[in-house]
């Protein structure tokens, strides 16, 4: 077993476990923390894929900003513990699990029918993950989507402000 395989197994296991645990815990704060763990594992996997920039951004944005936001809202709202998982609406939950399993099998099936291309060499793999490369691509070839995304974020900011405003008397 190489280091890469070992690390992959480690991170993958954590990711799988934390995702299952996140979905099943009753306490939403615990769910949030498991999700943070999941993001961390994912960040490691990104590194294994030589995507340095994405790995760092994952930690900063997802684990660092989005999950903090979730935790703040949970703190504000103090939701009650959810009651038992299966007792209410068992048919719907059954259907959900069935759907989930079916979908998983379908995706697996289609993975093995995907047409593989030629794998790139190592230097190229490292090169495209660097921040310089990504930065250069963003600011030249993909400048328009970049600016558009800025606009989306602006809209989100304004929207969040407007939606959470209390009524002025």
Does residue number 103 form part of the binding site for other proteins (CB under 8 A)?
yes
Tell me which of 8, 14, 40, 56 binds other proteins, using CB under 8 A.
8
28 or 168: CB nearest other proteins: 28
**113 touches other proteins by CB under 8 A:** yes
Least distance CB 120 / other proteins (angstroms) = 3
| 147 binds other proteins, rule: CB under 8 A | no
- Give yes or no for residue 44 binding other proteins (CB under 8 A): no
Q: Is 68 in the site for other proteins (CB under 8 A)?
A: no
Binder of other proteins out of 139, 143, 147, 153 (CB under 8 A): 153
Three-class secondary structure assignment of the chain: CCHHHHHHHHHHHHHHHHHHHHHHCCCHHHHHHHHHHHHHHHHHHHHHCCCHHHHHHHHHHHHHHHHHHHHHHHHHHCCCCCCCCCCCCHHHHHHHHHHHHHHHHHHHHHHCCCCCCCCCCHHHHHHHHCHHHHHHHHHCCCHHHHHHHHHHHHHHHHHHHHHCCCCCC
- The answer to whether 168 contacts other proteins (rule: CB under 8 A) is no
Of residues 111 and 168, the one with the C-beta less far from other proteins: 111
């Amino acid at each position: 077993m190489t280091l890469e395989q070992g690390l992959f197994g480690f991170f993958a296991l954590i990711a799988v476990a934390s995702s299952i645990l996140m979905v099943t815990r009753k306490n939403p704060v615990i769910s949030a923390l498991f999700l943070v763990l999941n993001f961390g594992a994912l960040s490691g996997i990104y590194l294994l894929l030589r995507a340095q920039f994405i790995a760092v951004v994952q930690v900063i944005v997802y684990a660092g900003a989005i999950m903090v936001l979730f935790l703040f809202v949970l703190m504000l709202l103090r939701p009650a513990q959810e009651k038992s998982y299966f007792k209410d609406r068992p048919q719907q939950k059954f259907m959900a699990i069935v759907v989930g399993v079916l979908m998983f099998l379908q995706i697996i099936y289609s993975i093995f029918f995907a047409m593989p291309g030629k794998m790139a060499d190592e230097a190229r793999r490292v090169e495209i993950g660097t921040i310089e490369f990504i930065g250069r691509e963003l600011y030249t070839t993909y400048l328009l989507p970049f600016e558009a995304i800025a606009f989306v974020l602006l809209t989100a900011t304004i929207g969040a402000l407007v939606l959470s405003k209390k009524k002025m008397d």
